Homo-oligomer: A and B are copies of this chain.
Amino acid sequence: MPHLRFDQTTADWVVFAPLRNLRPHTRSAEVSNRGAAGVDAPSNCPFCPGNEGMTPHEIDAVRAQDGTGTNWLVRVVPNKFPALQIEEDNRQTQKGDLFRQMGGCGAHEVLIESPQHDAFLGSEPIDHVCHVIRMLHSRYCDLMRDTRFQTIVIFKNHGEGAGTSLQHPHWQIIATPVVPRMFRHQYIEATDYFDRTGHSLYEALLDEELKRNERVIVTNDEFVALMPFASHLPFETWVIPRRQQASFRSFQESQIEPLAHILQEILIKLYVGLEDPDFNLTVDTASRGDEDEPFFRWHIRILPRLTTTAGFELGSGMSINTVLPEEAAKFLKGGNHTLQQSDSHEN
């Protein structure tokens, strides 16, 4: 049964999910080179149209306006191999003084991004990207109605090196019964900055980056895409709203299309410039209780997996980055990487 255990040495909660060992894997001993990652055939793919019976019951979907109502465009289902489950409780138990654990209460959903097995978000029609974003926001708000859930973690893994077990493009949404320590820590830093200066750290960083314009890649009226001054990884890219919103919950309908545009522009630049790199995309957002605070600001982090985390990173928690963000930004902004979309607006 899934549960969480508390690490007394780091104050981290670790999720234990033995069931996830049963997941299907594209990777095999024979097929480990990157180009062959697409071997899982659509006929066996649980996310392809026609195979809806291979997933648990549908939670929500966007359907084509073709009168039939049968063709879905975006589909949300429970993860068949959940890390956390809505049926579990969040009671804590303790074995002795040191071994504390909690029921694996939470949720683990999959958003199937497209009916097309090999679709790429960067080149989908803009309306389709809007459907995806709107659905992510809708699932966020719905899950937060369960007051046992403290944090909603939204992410996307692209490519085998980013941990994808199924190639068909999808996102995952995990609700946790605890506030991750990493978030607590970031709120403390941001609160501290707010207390000392009276300003939001994220607003100050955004203003300064816009002023210097060395690491900003794309902007529009609602969002800015940039590579942070102290990027932990080569080509780490943030998409951050211009409005003060601590939580993704506060995201407005009028921000959907600008977000869809800027996300596509960045994804295409990375695709062209780095030749379809493996990447993870995460939505960092305030947890329950901090959702309306002025000190934090939700943002998207895109983390290309160009290097392997090794002993120094694991042994110290520090990162070694071999590419300066201002050079990565210059490279991506370079004229060679023309956008393949006519309707994208680069500022």
Q: Name the CB-closest residue of B to A35.
A: B29
Interchain CB contact under 8 A, B15 and A230: no
Choose among B33, B155, B164 the residue that contacts A32 (Cβ–Cβ < 8 A).
Answer: B33
Other contacts beyond A9-B186, A280-B315, A284-B315: 5, CB < 8 A: A5-B229, A153-B316, A162-B308, A172-B312, A182-B318
A231 at the interface (CB under 8 A from B): yes
Q: List 13 A-B contacts (CB under 8 A).
A: A8-B205, A9-B205, A12-B232, A15-B320, A17-B322, A21-B322, A99-B229, A153-B311, A156-B311, A162-B310, A182-B318, A183-B316, A282-B315
Interchain CB contact under 8 A, B32 and A322: no
Choose among B97, B301, B316 the residue that contacts A315 (Cβ–Cβ < 8 A).
Answer: B301
Q: Which residues of B contact A99 (CB under 8 A)?
A: 208, 229
Q: Name the CB-closest residue of B to A296.
A: B9
Q: Name the CB-closest residue of B to A84.
A: B320
Interface residue tally of chain A, by bracket?
Answer: 35 or more
Interchain CB contact under 8 A, A204 and B312: no
A193 at the interface (CB under 8 A from B): yes
Interchain CB contact under 8 A, A180 and B21: no
Say how far A122's CB is from chain B's closest CB, in angstroms: 17
Interchain CB contact under 8 A, B10 and A163: no
Q: Which residues of B contact A282 (CB under 8 A)?
A: 311, 314-315
A5 to B303 CA separation, bound complex (whole angstroms): 18
A116 to B27 CA separation, bound complex (whole angstroms): 32
Interchain CB contact under 8 A, B12 and A208: no
